[in-house]
Amino acid sequence: MANLKQLSKKAETLTQGHRLCAGCGHGTVVRQILAASERPVVVGNATGCLEVATTIYPYTAWSSAWIHSAFENAAATVSGVEAAFEALRARGKVDEQFNFVAFAGDGGTYDIGLQSLSGAAERGHRMLYVCLDNGAYMNTGIQRSSATPLGADTTTSPAGRVVPGKTEHSKDLTAIMAAHDIAYVAQVSPSHWNDLVTKAGKAFAADGFSFINALSPCPRGWRMDTSETIELARLGVETCYWPLFEVVDGEWHLTYQPKEKRPVAEWLKRQGRFRHLFTEANKPIIDAIQARVDRKWDEIKRRCGVT
């Protein structure tokens, strides 16, 4: 497990002075991920909230090597850097060891970056890919993505009299990545920092491609107070909307089990994007979300051998 005293003494890779929104989960997740690296890191960053807010020219909040990629190709970019490094190392031109990590949002991961991500995973590059999942294309105007939950009100799935928000469930990307049979896969939340940092350490140490899917609350898109980021991240875990687990060499392990599984409605009602669901007419949508959460939770427990 991670040691908080030791972590507090490490130099920050993502420093102060960035322009992420107040309450944005991205900064917290990224700092926790990078705190687990025992080597210097090379960071690849897809176009998105994190990239825009941390590198507004002529400023940067990064103290590491950093490269900007297009929305859809962060995995390809970092895999190319890793391949170049391995070629130079084989020729004896570099001695120092590095960790390679790509950060992207759910739009650039679940959707337009999925092909690039799948290719890098299949090739087995020694790198970590982190999806910062806030459930929509927040940087470009809060449009729905395939990570957006059923019923969410976004600018491209607006809730009204005809359509009550997004009409599809979110994609199970973590399971999709586990199906690639890669070295390490995990789902994390910034509310459980020790679990997150421990998993990031395993991902960096893995011999091959690693993937981490991180829940990252967005005050603007979720329509929540900026002080509630960690509380809502924790509630996502306690309702089992966002279970915490890992897949190591194909073996599934549950890393946190709530003492009492709370109704998903408790998580939904704290977010303005779901406010319209709390009517008699839209109650079946909440029931459908709960049924899906229950089914996926039972499926994960089965895979992990937990009763």
In the block, residue with structure tokens 């944005």: 24
Q: What is the pLDDT of residues 203-242, one digit of tens each?
A: 999 999 999 999 999 999 999 999 999 999 999 999 999 9
Q: What is the 3-state secondary structure (H, E, C) of 129-174?
A: EEEEECCCECCCCCECCCCCCCCCCCCCCCECCCCECCCCCCCCHH
pLDDT at 52: 96
The stretches in the chain having pLDDT less than 50 are: none
pLDDT, tens digit, for every residue of 273-303?
999 999 999 999 999 999 999 999 999 999 9
pLDDT at 10: 83
The pLDDT of residue 7: 79
Q: Provide the pLDDT for residue 91.
A: 96
Asked whether the beta carbons of 143 and 149 are under 8 A apart, the reply is no
Terminal-residue alpha carbon distance, the chain: 24
Give the phi and the psi of residue 149 in degrees, each rounded to 5: -70, 155
Tokens encoding 64: 């590491």
SS3 content of the chain, % helix, strand, coil (to 5): 40, 15, 45
Burial (CB count within 10 angstroms: exposed 0-12, middle 13-18, buried 19+), residue 244: buried
Taken in order of first residue, the domains within the chain and their CATH numbers are: 4-304 (3.40.50.970)
Kindly give the interhelix angle for 25-35 and 193-205, rounded to the nearest 10 degrees. Answer: 50
CB atoms within 10 A of CB 90: 9
Predicted pLDDT at 307: 80
pLDDT of residue 72: 96
